[in-house]
Structure 1
């Protein structure tokens, strides 16, 4: 543990992935394997019952297995040896016909399934918070910015709706991903199931049913595309949250201050500061996961029927991606729950702009009355006056150049937000399917 773990880690997710959880999941797989083998007559029924009972109650000390795991290059091996020792006279029937990677991969999927339930719940909760915020601020006009420049009016609700929009798609992707990911691994030493042929397919299906997993016929010892797909999904989720974090950093900076979210961190030497720590963490977590996707893709380069170098990359990378995603969702919920606009700061931003962001609107309005090229020349002349004269607004300049129009109303930010209010209040089809 390091001092910054509280910010970038997530206790609830980490508990599903730590050493005790890993051992528990592997023992769950071994118990299911013994039960299914007893039912199918592959091992004696009474031995199967005893092995399953021992596996259900065994609680080895993870520290005692560290050296064995390092020697074997896989965590399952020392646990299997411990289970065999605990089963005494039934030791020969423990782990019968399986390989260590079968147990470790299957256990990892069980752990991942638990984590994905947490992430799904948090995604859904975040979507609900953002929906409420978008609707609450659907009509609040504020400057939109493109390429870090003020562009045109939008509403805060529309901006929040953009943050929210990917979340249902991420939930749909997760539902589509689950059947490809949540698979048992039970194929034996070289992936052929030869040790228990011809019973291995039936055994695989029985163990999968016990564990609530799918049972593909083709081994995935060396084909890790589903893991890579999961990593991509995790990075897309944190990337979405990172975009929101980046926006909140910019909206909350000192000279803007249009939106505040969460509780800022202080400076050790500048008491006036309130640093956007949580929003910054969202950006950092997104970038860390984006980099980790490349490492997981490296793990897809899996030589022959099994490759320890590829597996090690996955084991060292994927758990942290899951934890980071949990942390990002936790932080995003906290930030958005406390998200508050500053109407005065928004009004000040509009005032400083003096209507220049409405130049496009002015051009389109005039085009309805005069030729397009003339309309654009007039707007350009008005913008030149705004730039040259420190207190002239675009509406005032246009009033002088093209009188007879209510330019103050025509160029009101609230009258030029287009579909922003509708976007903020829009309910997605995903909400109807829930």
Structure 2
């Protein structure tokens, strides 16, 4: 077992999506650092600050360099950042005339932070696709089960009837909002970091902002109003977004675990669930457990990431390194949680018969609220509440269906009550309208058109 399970060959697939994990290898990280150095040289050549020949040589060598990672590690321990040692390996490979133009006017944090943004952009592209796919799965589930009756539960107790389609729509709605938040986040996150030694770009004189803008253009980023060496709010926003996605997926997984309990039996994970070494009858909800593990870990990482944003003056001390420890893990965990959720939904077994059985087994107790409101049309509301509460105790004791007991108790006094409407399927309020609203919202964000046959 490795120190970080996300990097383990054995455990890694449980806690990091492979597409995201591939972006956070040492080789991929160093490639991004070199890409930023090459882009900086090209930007400066475009502006006439360095010769084009130097930019061409730097770009070519950045593309070809195969860094000595062991030596970089030694330099990293000494300098606290890999850029210094990386430049020391790159510079001797350049023509002598180009060496002085390498890393011209930049500071190490400019390169590291811009490379961080490039990595986050690639990772978020993968997460956006995964999140959209999971949303589409939930939309299909909500549509398919718009009329599948089941108990609604509050404080883990049966409360009022709902449909499983509404529950799926409830899982969907926050994921759609996360897609909207991502659209907003990206406009703030995908910016270049270029401030020089103290954020003033003094080494470039009056042309600092020109270079920053040209560098952003080379990398398909934008230029922020000011350098952000110690303004880490957008990094925190990213960490919070990732944690939010994991938390919403964790809620879904927790519901699945509860509904898959032997005594409930309304859902089951596909593929037979996880097995037990000694109890062959077990169907453990392992996929849901992995999603919850990711969500629980993400919340702890977010706390550390938030604290790392308190940085000193124009360049910080330790907060930067805490970001390195937390944000890549959050990206990996979120990818894993999304991948596991897609697999969970793809094989989810919905037992509509068991849901109907659990509704019927309540002896009408989930109709208590509707019954109280119906009786309040023929008697004072407080009296209606007393009548229903007394009958509910008898229904819970197995003496009969709640509606039948109340109807018998009232006799002629209940003549004005619409007894035929007091069934679980006819007391769903705006259940289906809510499903439709969730599907409409998802469709708008995804650019889809809702099928006319819904629900």
Residue of structure 1 equivalent to 2:378: 369
Q: Which among 389, 408, 411 is matched to residue 422 of structure 2?
A: 411
- Give the conservation status (yes or no) of the 8 Å contact 2:173–2:442: no
Change (3 A) 1:429 1:343: closer
1:183 aligns with 2:191: yes
- Greater alpha carbon shift after TM alignment, 38-47 vs 118-127: 38-47
Cα displacement string for residues 4-35 of structure 1 (whole angstroms, at most 9, x for unaligned residues): 32211211101112211111111111111111
Name the SS for the 1:198 alignment partner: helix
- Give the conservation status (yes or no) of the 8 Å contact 1:151–1:357: yes
Residue of structure 2 equivalent to 1:10: 17
Q: Which among 299, 304, 310 is matched to residue 319 of structure 2?
A: 310
**Alpha-carbon deviation of 1:92?**
2.0
Query: Hey, what's the Cα distance between the residues in 2 that align with 1:306 and 1:262?
Result: 51
- Give the conservation status (yes or no) of the 8 Å contact 1:396–1:407: no
Residue of structure 1 equivalent to 2:73: 66
Query: Hey, what's the Cα distance between the residues in 1 that align with 2:103 and 2:444?
Result: 46
**Alpha-carbon deviation of 1:302?**
0.4
Residues 143-222 of structure 1: pairs in structure 2 closer than 5 A: 143-222=151-230
Query: Hey, what's the Cα distance between the residues in 2 that align with 1:61 and 1:267?
Result: 46
Change (3 A) 1:393 1:230: same
Residue of structure 1 equivalent to 2:58: 51
Aligned length: 433
Residues 212-291 of structure 1: pairs in structure 2 closer than 5 A: 212-263=220-271, 264-291=273-300
CA RMSD of aligned residues (A): 1.7
Name the SS for the 1:231 alignment partner: helix
- Give the conservation status (yes or no) of the 8 Å contact 2:363–2:396: no
**Alpha-carbon deviation of 1:391?**
4.6
**Mind listing any 5+ residue stretches in structure 2 that lack a counterpart?**
1-6, 448-455
**Alpha-carbon deviation of 1:64?**
4.1
**Alpha-carbon deviation of 1:75?**
2.0
Residue of structure 1 equivalent to 2:42: 35
Query: Hey, what's the Cα distance between the residues in 2 that align with 1:284 and 1:5?
Result: 13
**Alpha-carbon deviation of 1:248?**
0.5
Residue of structure 1 equivalent to 2:451: none
**Alpha-carbon deviation of 1:323?**
0.5
**Alpha-carbon deviation of 1:259?**
1.5
Residues 7-156 of structure 1: pairs in structure 2 closer than 5 A: 7-89=14-96, 90-156=98-164
Change (3 A) 1:63 1:417: farther
Query: Hey, what's the Cα distance between the residues in 2 that align with 1:96 and 1:343?
Result: 66
**Alpha-carbon deviation of 1:219?**
1.2
Change (3 A) 1:407 1:273: farther
Residues 332-411 of structure 1: pairs in structure 2 closer than 5 A: 332-388=341-397, 390-403=398-411, 409-411=420-422
Change (3 A) 1:34 1:6: same
- Greater alpha carbon shift after TM alignment, 28-37 vs 66-75: 66-75
**Alpha-carbon deviation of 1:67?**
1.8
Query: Hey, what's the Cα distance between the residues in 2 that align with 1:297 and 1:191?
Result: 22
**Mind listing any 5+ residue stretches in structure 1 that lack a counterpart?**
none
Query: Hey, what's the Cα distance between the residues in 2 that align with 1:76 and 1:409?
Result: 76
Residue of structure 2 equivalent to 1:330: 339
**Alpha-carbon deviation of 1:408?**
7.3
Residue of structure 2 equivalent to 1:420: 431
Name the SS for the 2:312 alignment partner: coil
- Give the conservation status (yes or no) of the 8 Å contact 2:374–2:418: no
**Alpha-carbon deviation of 1:230?**
0.7
**Alpha-carbon deviation of 1:340?**
2.6
Change (3 A) 1:61 1:431: farther
Change (3 A) 1:408 1:57: farther
Query: Hey, what's the Cα distance between the residues in 1 that align with 2:93 and 2:225?
Result: 32
Normalization by structure 1: what TM-score?
A: 0.95
Query: Hey, what's the Cα distance between the residues in 1 that align with 2:441 and 2:421?
Result: 35
- Give the conservation status (yes or no) of the 8 Å contact 1:153–1:357: yes
- Greater alpha carbon shift after TM alignment, 376-385 vs 235-244: 376-385
- Give the conservation status (yes or no) of the 8 Å contact 2:13–2:336: no
Query: Hey, what's the Cα distance between the residues in 2 that align with 1:29 and 1:305?
Result: 22
- Give the conservation status (yes or no) of the 8 Å contact 2:267–2:349: yes
Name the SS for the 1:165 alignment partner: helix
